[in-house]
Amino acid sequence: MLAAREVTVRFGGLTAVDQVSATLQSGELVGIIGPNGAGKTTFFNAISGVLAPTSGRLIVAGDDLTGKGPHRFAKHGLARTFQTPRVFADMSVAQNIEFGLKFAGRRHRKYWLWGEEASVPWALRDAGNILQLIGLSAQAELPAGSITPSQQRLLEIGMALATRPRLLLLDEVAAGLTENEIENMAALVRRLRDELGLTVVWIEHAVRTLLRHVERVIVLHQGRKIADGPPAEVVRNAEVIEAYLGDEMVEEGAA
């Protein structure tokens, strides 16, 4: 689905991402973890077209999109969220979803059974279905600026889903949530992958939750990739323990 090949991002004399390579296969649920300043969000910005890499290559769905704008990545089936939810506060919740559908070039209902629209899951066909999927049906007519921060995070996921992605990048969607909300968010992320067949890549500081739900973990430290594998293996990696996780994570991984 996506191949990042020795991606490097520099800001003047600072190397934020240092020759990071990663291949994301169709249907994977992958977590990215690392200390603050490890380069996680910068890497996300690079692989979504928000930020052009200083060097390296980005191959999406077989096409080289290195240096292309985010609209080209979106056209190739990539969507993302941001650390701070970006919603249209003065528009209703439903209108925010409709905006995403228009961005995706949704055809009129009578054309749903032919062309590209025929391959779109029913759950993503209209705003009502998407709101039901993310649990915001009751808030459909409310201004997006009036719903809770946790609901705004769900809405931003819904807006991303409205573009009919094949690869969904989630940047700290559990930030600021209660423990119960974090578990509900994790369950939703898993369900999106399972029910929609998406490839999902999830950056998160709620490491314990992420490790319980993803199938593969990439660990970044000081801009470099220091581990990539199943959670049970990664938490036992000596370099990861020293750089980030600590011995308590090994005990949890064993449990």
State mean pLDDT over 34-61. Answer: 93
**Domain end: 138, 164, 190, which one?**
164
142 and 180 assigned to the same domain = no
192 and 90 assigned to the same domain = no
245 and 174 assigned to the same domain = yes
* pLDDT tens digits, one per residue of 170-222: 999 988 888 889 889 999 999 999 999 899 999 988 788 888 899 999 999 99
Please state, for a pLDDT cut of 70, what percent of the chain lies above it: 89
254 and 201 assigned to the same domain = yes
* pLDDT tens digits, one per residue of 102-116: 876 554 444 444 445
* Closest CA relative to residue 127, chosen from 155, 148, 146: 155
Kindly indicate the confidence band of residue 148, based on its pLDDT and cuts at 50, 70 and 90.
very high
| Mean confidence (pLDDT) of the chain | 88
Letter for the amino acid at 137? S
Please tell me whether the overall predicted TM-score, pTM, comes out greater than 0.85 for this model: yes
* pLDDT tens digits, one per residue of 53-104: 999 999 999 999 999 999 899 989 999 998 888 899 999 999 999 998 887 6
* pLDDT tens digits, one per residue of 113-127: 444 556 677 788 889
69 and 90 assigned to the same domain = no
b/e burial code for range 77-100 (CB count within 10 A of at least 16 → b):
bbbbbbeebebeeeebbbebbbbb
39 and 19 assigned to the same domain = yes
Domain span at residue 55?
Answer: 1-77+166-255
Letter for the amino acid at 235? V
How much is the pLDDT for 206? 75
176 and 218 assigned to the same domain = yes
Q: Is the pLDDT of residue 129 over 60?
A: yes
How much is the pLDDT for 83? 82
State mean pLDDT over 149-177. Answer: 92
61 and 97 assigned to the same domain = no
Q: Is the pLDDT of residue 11 over 90?
A: yes
* Closest CA relative to residue 184, chosen from 215, 160, 151, 162: 151
64 and 173 assigned to the same domain = yes
How much is the pLDDT for 176? 86
CB distance 67 to 57 below 8 Å: no
How much is the pLDDT for 112? 45
124 and 178 assigned to the same domain = no
- Alpha carbon dihedral 107, 110, 116, 118, in 10-degree steps, equals 140
121 and 65 assigned to the same domain = no
**Domain end: 143, 164, 185, which one?**
164
41 and 1 assigned to the same domain = yes
Tell me, what CATH number does 182's domain have?
3.40.50.300
Domain count across the chain: 2
**Domain end: 130, 164, 198, which one?**
164
